[in-house]
Amino acid sequence: MSTILEMRAITKEFPGVKALDQVNLSVAKGEIHALVGENGAGKSTLMKVLSGVYPHGTYTGDIVYDGQVKSFGSIRDSEDEGIIIIHQELALVPLLSVAENIFLGNERANRGVIDWRSTRKGAAEVLARVGLDEHPDTIVDNLGLGKQQLVEIAKALSKNVRLLILDEPTSSLNETDSEKLLDLLLEFKSRGITSILISHKLNEISRVADTITVIRDGAAVSRLDCSAGISEDDIIRDMVGRSLDDRYPPRIPHARDEIAMEVKNWCVTHPLHAEREVVKDVSFFVKKGEVLGIAGLMGAGRTELAMSLFGRSYGAHIRGEVSINGAPVHLPNVRSAINAGLAYATEDRKTYGLVLDDTIRRNVPLADLEGVANGIVVNNAKEVAVGNQYRDRLNIKSSSIEQETVNLSGGNQQKVVLSKWLFSDPDVLILDEPTRGIDVGAKFEIYTVIRELAASGKAIIVISSELPELLGITDRLYVMNEGRFVGEMPTEDASQEKIMATIIKSGDQA
Amino acid sequence: MTQATTNTTDDQPKMEVKSSWSFLRSHMREYGILFALVAIMIFFQITTDGILLKPVNLTNLILQNSYIIIMAVGMLLVIVAGHIDLSVGSVMGFVGALAAVMIVNWDIPYPIAAVLCLIAGGIIGMAQGFWIAYLRIPSFIVTLAGMLVFKGLTLWLLAGQSVGPFPKQFQLIASGFIPDLFNGEDLNLFSLFLGVLVALIIVGLAVRSRMEATKTGSVEEPFVFFAAKNGLIFIALIYMSWLMADFRGLPNVFIVMALLIAVYSFITSRTTMGRRIYAIGGNEKAAMLSGINSKKLTFFTFANMGVLAALAGLVFAARLNTATPKAGLGFELDVIAAVFIGGASMAGGVGTVVGAVIGAFIMGVMNNGMSILGIGIDWQQVIKGLVLLAAVVFDVLNKKKG
């Protein structure tokens, strides 16, 4: 079979981070090529290089497509060559019709005037090819996610796609819709359309893929031929097989026998879709002085669990019981959760964590302004003292506490968020992806703070998609998948393979 | 991916005080607006052959702009919280009409009527704030509706007629001057005394807070700037009170305004509530996840705006000595313009009370100066519009550069 695409020695650097390092990818014409790897391994970055999101010149290496070296300056360029990428978050305009969405940016028009007859006819044709039985005038918002995904694919077909890239296409689909989508890929294959499939779901990959490329830490580590017969275990080993050096502070157990927080039968439904249960009957506990990890893939429901516990900041129809330090508590809003001794440091520090235009000094006491005030009057001297205290303690690199947080690096912003919650003096601290997008040095400092807090008797819950991190800093782990806790293990008995296997087994059962 | 790591400042903390020049650059906005006001005043002082700062004109200037400044203080809170209130002009007109009907038509004693009017303003503010804070209807829409509703209700209340005149005592709210307790001959000595006292207090407080900051090592402002700024404020206050003392003394309204400015400056800069309003305007989601009750605070800012609009309505009616169906028409735009010229951000979370007041004075001095020069109302509007645009453009460019 001839090769349609070859990416040679692609290297892409972001300031301070090498996202891709000499990656090679070779895709044969007419195959389904799977790209697997952990969150943040570099899969999406590689596909953005390919599709021109990162234009030629911002990376090094060559893209050879159809035997020619290409230099795409924009998505438009790659689309003209028939390379279409469908992102994880759908790019449809919800209030436009199916037909309008399919031809968005590529309108069937005569001198700027849209030819509606041709638009509808063209839409109906591509809809038939993806097997979607909907009228072209249907408003996209009225369709389910599975059908919206098909509209995206129909849109790709309308552009004469030759290489279709799907980024986690089934992550938000149910079983039936996923099956349909995979069947569609197989059908495209029979028609000669090449696909690149990015997925976490290894059972799906082993079903449809011809070849698998595993990416880890920005490098392509292996290329597996599915016709030779490979097991999921092989894939998992390649995905996670990296060593843990001393990237983590020593883990001295501090867990005491008293339970700091216990949650029983916690259920949460999606705030807009009442039929979607995002957290299903979750029960767990965390002891004082313990660092507890919650592992799981993106979309497993971990953030939703944490935010619903934190004063019902997420979700609807929340049911279940919470007790803190042995006493049952009712936490209808964030203030009551903070007062009960709970803190939640968000995974998205820019949107939910910081008032970016404000200074470090003003962000740190935000969750406990009374702590720096006499009555209702803010005590400037106290506030400055608190700001400086946390700036020193967490080593926040800044010109002074009067620096606006928008100008800090990711790691230092995260330290400000952490400072805010440390100042509120919680008993139970939930950290959601505490080291996302920050450099190795800052990570170590944050890990050290986490271990110190545990030593002082605080209970810490760490939510993370990076398994090595969880294995490096936690004492005990829960594994979450599709809204449920599907496994629990002491960290000393856990391994990345074991966690991945737990996730995948629970997925296969469902 | 991690795109935001480019503009980091990971250098080691600098302990030395920044140079004067870099400090000026980073605080361009705060000083810029003050310079602008001084420059505009000097310009008109020269072009009007000194009429601008004649005691009688200065007094007039303050009386003319008092209601704008009173509302700008409330509008600042609303805009900092991330909202807008388009209804203030109509609410102000409505309350003026209400006062006229109660006092003139129904013979209700004016102190009681005034209190009732302030309460009515509060209720109007709450009624609008309810939709905005609790049902999350955009404030633009709610207050646009409020603007139409209260414009209509003003017409209905006055039956399309002007109602007046008010009793002498009521008029004094706007046109009275504080009595001279010291019995000065040509000069209102008490007014001058008050002016000097206030100037001393302001400078005293500034010195105290600077000493506090020195103790904790958080001084940013170079001493030259500190001294120059406070010296300028000190001299300007004393000069202004001397000018007004030379005419009839400090107007009653001036005292009301000064108190409002002082109280709201304190609330916004020093209290936990003020801090929280800035936080919800800066990033509501982060503020809510920090346990801040954004609904309650948003509701409060609108209730407060209603009361201040009512107060402005009383002052305006008292000044005109009559309530007319056209009162307050378009004032909301002057108020909003003053707040934005004063450095507040459309997105919320940024702005100061003093800035808004200076913004109102910039508008007021330009109105006054251009009228003295005989520039027609047509060109006045054009120039004011351009000044507003220039102020905000300056703001945005300055921010990009910094």
pLDDT tens figures, A323-341: 999 999 999 999 999 999 9
Same domain, yes or no: B197 and B238: yes
Same domain, yes or no: B308 and B354: yes
A chain contacts of residue B276, beta-carbon cutoff 8 Å:
369
Domains of chain A and CATH, by start:
3-240 (3.40.50.300), 245-341+426-510 (3.40.50.300), 352-420 (no CATH)
- The first and second tokens of residue A284, run together, are 């767990």
Whole-number Å distance between alpha carbons of A394 and A201: 38
Better-scored residue on pLDDT, B26 or A338? A338
Q: Mean pLDDT for chain A?
A: 87
Nearest Cα residue in chain B from A344: B289
The proportion of chain A whose per-residue pLDDT surpasses 70, expressed as a percent, equals 95
Output the furthest CA–CA distance in chain A (Å, rounded).
77
- The first and second tokens of residue A65, run together, are 């497509």
Better-scored residue on pLDDT, B305 or A497? B305
A219-225 and A211-216 as β-strands: parallel, antiparallel, unpaired?
A: antiparallel
pLDDT at B400: 62
Same domain, yes or no: B224 and B310: no
Interchain CB distance below 8 Å, B291 and A346: no
Interchain CB distance below 8 Å, B270 and A412: no
For the ranges A9-23, A217-231, B153-167, B388-402, which has the lowest average pLDDT? Answer: B388-402
What is each CA distance from A436 to A12, A20, A366, B100, in whole angstroms? 19, 17, 22, 63
> What string of DSSP letters covers A94-156?
TTSBHHHHHTTTS--EETTEE-HHHHHHHHHHHHHHTT----TTSBGGGS-HHHHHHHHHHHH
User: Using beta carbons and an 8 Å cutoff, which residues of B are at the interface with A?
Assistant: 1-14, 209, 212-213, 215-216, 218, 220, 270-273, 275-276, 278-279, 282-283, 285-293, 349-350
Last residue of a domain, one of B250, B285, B302: B250
pLDDT at A422: 94
A chain contacts of residue B402, beta-carbon cutoff 8 Å:
none
Of B14, B282, B293, the CB nearest to A399: B14
Nearest Cα residue in chain A from B292: A335
- Confidence band, pLDDT 50/70/90 cuts, at residue B108: very high
Does residue B90 lie within any of the structural domains? Answer: yes
A chain contacts of residue B279, beta-carbon cutoff 8 Å:
355, 358, 362, 366
- Confidence band, pLDDT 50/70/90 cuts, at residue B335: very high
Closest chain A C-alpha to B212 CA, distance in angstroms: 7
Same domain, yes or no: B85 and B123: yes
Same domain, yes or no: B102 and B36: yes
Whole-number Å distance between alpha carbons of B312 and B300: 18
**Residue A16 pLDDT greater than 50, yes or no:** yes
Same domain, yes or no: B278 and B227: no
Better-scored residue on pLDDT, B9 or B46? B46
At residue A18, what are phi and psi to the nearest 5 degrees? -95, 105
pLDDT at A243: 45
Last residue of a domain, one of B215, B234, B250: B250
CA atoms lying within 13 Å on the CB side of residue A453: 31
- Confidence band, pLDDT 50/70/90 cuts, at residue B20: low
Same domain, yes or no: B126 and B214: no
Nearest Cα residue in chain B from A336: B291
What is each CA distance from A212 to A166, A205, A231, B254, in whole angstroms? 14, 8, 12, 78
CA angle B364/B368/B369 to nearest 5° reads 115
pLDDT at A279: 92
B chain contacts of residue A331, beta-carbon cutoff 8 Å:
none
- The first and second tokens of residue A482, run together, are 């599709």
Q: What is the CA radius of gyration of chain B?
A: 22
Does residue B111 lie within any of the structural domains? Answer: yes
**Residue B28 pLDDT greater than 80, yes or no:** no
pLDDT at B22: 66
Q: Hunting for tokens 């029960």 — which residue is that?
A: A283
pLDDT at A233: 74
Same domain, yes or no: B92 and B133: yes
| Interface A-B: count of C-beta contacts within 8 A | 137
Interchain CB distance below 8 Å, B9 and A311: no
Secondary structure tally for chain A: helices H, strands E: 16, 24
A chain contacts of residue B278, beta-carbon cutoff 8 Å:
355, 358, 362
Nearest CA to B91 out of B49, B46, B58, B121 is that of B121
- Residue A196: beta bridge partners? A33, A165
B chain contacts of residue A367, beta-carbon cutoff 8 Å:
290-291
A chain contacts of residue B6, beta-carbon cutoff 8 Å:
15
- Convert the pLDDT of each residue in A410-428 to its tens digit: 788 999 999 999 999 999 9
- The first and second tokens of residue A434, run together, are 């505490």
Does residue B93 lie within any of the structural domains? Answer: yes
For the ranges A38-47, A326-335, B48-57, which has the lowest average pLDDT? Answer: A38-47
Average pLDDT over residues A60-89: 88
Q: Which of A409, A413, A430 to mutate to test the interface with B (most CBs of B within 10 A)?
A: A409
Average pLDDT over residues A173-186: 83
pLDDT at A348: 84
Q: Peptide bond before B165: cis, by omega within 30 degrees of 0?
A: yes
For the ranges A68-82, A261-275, A438-452, B329-343, which has the lowest average pLDDT? Answer: A438-452
Whole-number Å distance between alpha carbons of A372 and A374: 7
Average pLDDT over residues B271-300: 93
- The first and second tokens of residue B94, run together, are 């409505």
pLDDT at B2: 38
- Show the domain range for B296: 29-175+274-397
pLDDT at A508: 61
Does residue B12 lie within any of the structural domains? Answer: no
B chain contacts of residue A17, beta-carbon cutoff 8 Å:
1-2, 5
Does residue B18 lie within any of the structural domains? Answer: no
Average pLDDT over residues B391-396: 83
Which amino acid, A505?
K
Interchain CB distance below 8 Å, B271 and A420: no
B chain contacts of residue A16, beta-carbon cutoff 8 Å:
2, 5
Same domain, yes or no: B292 and B334: yes
Of B5, B276, B288, the CB nearest to A369: B276
Better-scored residue on pLDDT, B9 or A336? A336
Average pLDDT over residues B363-385: 90
- Residue A36: beta bridge partners? A214
Interchain CB distance below 8 Å, A355 and B1: no
Number of domains in chain B: 2
Does residue B11 lie within any of the structural domains? Answer: no
The proportion of chain B whose per-residue pLDDT surpasses 70, expressed as a percent, equals 90
Q: Output the domain CATH number for residue B37.
A: 1.10.3470
- Confidence band, pLDDT 50/70/90 cuts, at residue A390: very high
Of B4, B8, B13, the CB nearest to A400: B13
Question: What would the 3-class secondary structure string for chain B be?
Answer: CCCCCCCCCCCCCCCCCCCHHHHHHHCHHHHHHHHHHHHHHHHHHHHCCCCCCCHHHHHHHHHHHHHHHHHHHHHHHHHHCCCCCCCHHHHHHHHHHHHHHHHHHCCCCHHHHHHHHHHHHHHHHHHHHHHHHHCCCCHHHHHHHHHHHHHHHHHHHHCCCCECCCCHHHHHHHHCECCCCCCCCCCCHHHHHHHHHHHHHHHHHHHHHHHHHHHHCCCCCCHHHHHHHHHHHHHHHHHHHHHHHHHCCCEHHHHHHHHHHHHHHHHHHHEHHHHHHHHHHHCHHHHHCCCCCHHHHHHHHHHHHHHHHHHHHHHHHHHHCCECCCCCCCHHHHHHHHHHHCCCCCCCCCCCHHHHHHHHHHHHHHHHHHHHCCCCHHHHHHHHHHHHHHHHHHHHHHHHHC
- Confidence band, pLDDT 50/70/90 cuts, at residue A244: very low
Closest chain B C-alpha to A280 CA, distance in angstroms: 23
Q: Mean pLDDT for chain B?
A: 86
Does residue B170 lie within any of the structural domains? Answer: yes
Same domain, yes or no: B171 and B181: no
**Residue B340 pLDDT greater than 90, yes or no:** yes
Better-scored residue on pLDDT, B171 or A241? B171
Interchain CB distance below 8 Å, A370 and B2: no
Interchain CB distance below 8 Å, B282 and A356: yes
A chain contacts of residue B270, beta-carbon cutoff 8 Å:
377-378, 380
Of B218, B282, B289, the CB nearest to A346: B289
Does residue B21 lie within any of the structural domains? Answer: no
Contact (CB, 8 A) for B146 and B91: yes
Same domain, yes or no: B329 and B364: yes
- Confidence band, pLDDT 50/70/90 cuts, at residue B8: very low
- Convert the pLDDT of each residue in A452-485 to its tens digit: 999 999 999 999 888 888 998 999 999 998 899 9
Interchain CB distance below 8 Å, A19 and B1: yes
Q: Which of A358, A364, A403 to mutate to test the interface with B (most CBs of B within 10 A)?
A: A358
Interchain CB distance below 8 Å, B290 and A385: no
pLDDT at B7: 39
Average pLDDT over residues A266-284: 89
- Convert the pLDDT of each residue in A96-126 to its tens digit: 999 999 998 888 888 888 889 999 999 999 9
Interchain CB distance below 8 Å, B286 and A354: yes
B chain contacts of residue A19, beta-carbon cutoff 8 Å:
1
Of A362, A376, A388, the CB nearest to B273: A376
Same domain, yes or no: B148 and B217: no
Last residue of a domain, one of B250, B285, B300: B250
